[in-house]
Chains A and B, each alone.
Chain A
């Protein structure tokens, strides 16, 4: 059916802008075909790596580029690759994390649908760098169409000799498995993903050991986000120096931002890191302002797990450091925009419902805490809030934050804490008056 997301992108801008690279061909309907991908310079980085570079040189180049993980944590990709032990006799694995489920995020999906070979090429380079001969892409189960796309691209890549035995006569063998999940947000967290890929319930693992030492099947494993890996061929083709010249000093390169919520032009936009959040929301080439000429109430800049920014804070650069300085995080780059008609309690009820639903249940603070939070926030929203509820929420948040094995607990808490910090009066109004200060009735 809808095989191809109708989402808006800035591919036209990317086509003419030498600095942008991920979105250059995403509006070309033939780009998923291997011949078209090759005609656009595809698989050249893969050839270059296999014919002229050692794994250590690849790791070094990616380290020098400053590329950081685009899934949320922002950990330097090359440094991560360097954690795989050289002296291990076990098989090594590389997994592309395509379990895109952070609310607000819809960027990896577009790369899978529209440029699948770019991902395979990046995965191949990563696999070679860490000494892996069997790589996986773990795709969330609901993205069945993406899995079909990747499966087809994989078959083409085998047929053209980009995968398989003795690739380009280099003596290097590489196989690939397209794996689909079963619908669980937690599986985007890397240790839960590993359990899921092993056919278990997707519950997080205690670290250490870190996956780079003992990951899939207890073997050294690297898990990288789709966008991170799709960036790698460009780093190899044009060099670390070029890549690190993009963006800011510490946040190099470009990033895809998924812009959603109350803007006139929701979409996926590739921009250099350090781009203005305000411009992304208001510029006609991107968000084109708030829908229906309403005023802005707040913005979540990095996916639903990151703290809110208020309108006076949006003159901020979209890079890892600037957003931390502003009290939030870059996360997955999912910018969610809320207009003045949004009841903050209503919005948080939606979010905490999600985190309660997705908590895997392993850690008590997250399992029980998200349930309590949902109960209290829902009763406030329903006009049954009690005096002391805000303080109770704050106390529960403090008892979850930092007390869980994986970041899901923190993720559930951060938007709540920031929403109380910025709009405490509105929470109080909801409890005192037993109704919303503004009613969120959005027609579709």
Chain B
């Protein structure tokens, strides 16, 4: 089993809320993603057993939504918003800065497996641009100094 007993219980708790079991698909995927870091066929199969929705239908839903990586990513998934409001305040240069600091290109993972750098669409932080989301947390009003401090902090915690 990939999912921990805690994750399974959380999925069951979610399932119990809904009038129809299929509504628990996205909440279940969210629980799984938060535990595993990405989703794959094995995860879909386990969710299928818990919520009683065919594996195929779970995969069908999961592959539509961009928030869940479908293959392993670094310990820290850096998601830089490259939509319009963030771009006006330097999202392109933020990406270039991160590429330089991490020594990787957009879409890649550092060799130590710590960081994956990707660009994502608008995350609703337009008035606190530029911003990035790392795993589940938002980092807003970014400056080079702030980015340095964030990377240093994450490296020391890793």
Interface residues of A, Cβ cutoff 8 Å to B: 1-2, 5-8, 91, 100-106, 108-109, 134, 140-145, 177, 179-185, 196-203, 217, 258-262, 266-268, 304, 334, 336-339, 342, 347, 350-351, 354, 357-358, 360, 440-444
Of B94, B126, B137, the residue contacting A260 (CB under 8 A) is: B126
Given known contacts A2-B138, A180-B30, is B87 in contact with A442 (CB within 8 Å)?
yes
Question: Is B23 among interface residues, defined by CB-CB distance under 8 A?
Answer: yes
Contact A143 B93 (CB under 8 A): no
Measured CA separation A109–B20 after assembly (Å)? 28
Given known contacts A181-B65, A350-B87, is B97 in contact with A444 (CB within 8 Å)?
yes
Measured CA separation A203–B65 after assembly (Å)? 11
| Nearest opposing residue in chain B for A265, CB measure | B127
Contact B123 A202 (CB under 8 A): no
Sample (22) of A-B pairs whose CB atoms are under 8 Å apart: A6-B140, A7-B125, A7-B140, A104-B84, A109-B125, A140-B124, A145-B137, A179-B23, A180-B26, A182-B30, A184-B64, A200-B60, A203-B64, A261-B89, A266-B126, A336-B88, A337-B88, A347-B87, A441-B92, A442-B88, A442-B90, A442-B92
Question: Is B129 among interface residues, defined by CB-CB distance under 8 A?
Answer: yes
B20 contacts across to A, CB distance below 8 A: 198-199, 217
| Nearest opposing residue in chain B for A219, CB measure | B19
Contact A182 B84 (CB under 8 A): no
Measured CA separation A6–B87 after assembly (Å)? 19
Question: Is B43 among interface residues, defined by CB-CB distance under 8 A?
Answer: no
Given known contacts A109-B124, A184-B64, A267-B127, is B89 in contact with A217 (CB within 8 Å)?
no
Question: Apart from A7-B127, A7-B140, what 11 extra A-B contacts exist at CB < 8 Å?
Answer: A8-B127, A103-B85, A142-B123, A180-B27, A199-B53, A258-B126, A260-B85, A304-B83, A350-B83, A354-B121, A444-B90
Question: Is B73 among interface residues, defined by CB-CB distance under 8 A?
Answer: no
Measured CA separation A145–B140 after assembly (Å)? 14
- Listed stretches B2-10, B99-107, B108-116, B141-149; interface member: B141-149
Interface residues of B, Cβ cutoff 8 Å to A: 17-20, 22-27, 29-30, 53, 57, 60-62, 64-68, 82-85, 87-94, 97, 120-130, 133, 136-144
Q: Distance (Å) between the CB of B148 and the closest chain A CB?
A: 13
Q: Distance (Å) between the CB of B53 and the closest chain A CB?
A: 7
Contact A179 B27 (CB under 8 A): yes
Contact A105 B124 (CB under 8 A): yes
Contact A350 B26 (CB under 8 A): no
Q: Distance (Å) between the CB of B82 and the closest chain A CB?
A: 7
Contact B61 A199 (CB under 8 A): yes
Q: Distance (Å) between the CB of A353 and the closest chain B CB?
A: 8
A259 contacts across to B, CB distance below 8 A: 127
Contact B23 A441 (CB under 8 A): no
Q: Distance (Å) between the CB of B130 and the closest chain A CB?
A: 5
B27 contacts across to A, CB distance below 8 A: 179-180
| Nearest opposing residue in chain A for B65, CB measure | A182
Measured CA separation A106–B129 after assembly (Å)? 11
Measured CA separation A134–B18 after assembly (Å)? 10
A106 contacts across to B, CB distance below 8 A: 124-128
Q: Closest 4 interchain pairs by CB?
A: A444-B90, A182-B65, A183-B67, A1-B137
| Nearest opposing residue in chain B for A180, CB measure | B30
Given known contacts A91-B19, A336-B88, A442-B88, is B65 in contact with A184 (CB within 8 Å)?
yes
Measured CA separation A184–B137 after assembly (Å)? 18
From B82, B83, B125, B126, name the one whose CB has the most chain A CB atoms within 10 angstroms.
B126
B19 contacts across to A, CB distance below 8 A: 91, 134, 217
Given known contacts A177-B17, A180-B26, is B138 in contact with A358 (CB within 8 Å)?
no
Measured CA separation A261–B18 after assembly (Å)? 40
Contact B127 A347 (CB under 8 A): no
A184 contacts across to B, CB distance below 8 A: 64-66
Contact A103 B83 (CB under 8 A): yes
Of B64, B97, B138, B141, the residue contacting A182 (CB under 8 A) is: B64
| Nearest opposing residue in chain A for B123, CB measure | A142
Contact B97 A100 (CB under 8 A): no
Q: Distance (Å) between the CB of A274 and the closest chain B CB?
A: 22
Contact B144 A183 (CB under 8 A): no
Given known contacts A177-B18, A336-B126, A354-B83, is B64 in contact with A444 (CB within 8 Å)?
no
Contact B90 A100 (CB under 8 A): no
Given known contacts A5-B140, A6-B141, A181-B26, is B130 in contact with A103 (CB within 8 Å)?
no
| Nearest opposing residue in chain A for B142, CB measure | A444
A134 contacts across to B, CB distance below 8 A: 19
B68 contacts across to A, CB distance below 8 A: 182-183
A180 contacts across to B, CB distance below 8 A: 26-27, 30
B17 contacts across to A, CB distance below 8 A: 177
Given known contacts A104-B85, A354-B83, is B121 in contact with A196 (CB within 8 Å)?
no
Contact A200 B128 (CB under 8 A): no
B29 contacts across to A, CB distance below 8 A: 182
Contact B87 A260 (CB under 8 A): no
Measured CA separation A183–B83 after assembly (Å)? 14
Contact B61 A200 (CB under 8 A): yes
Measured CA separation A7–B91 after assembly (Å)? 18
| Nearest opposing residue in chain B for A300, CB measure | B84
Measured CA separation A102–B137 after assembly (Å)? 20
Contact A183 B65 (CB under 8 A): yes
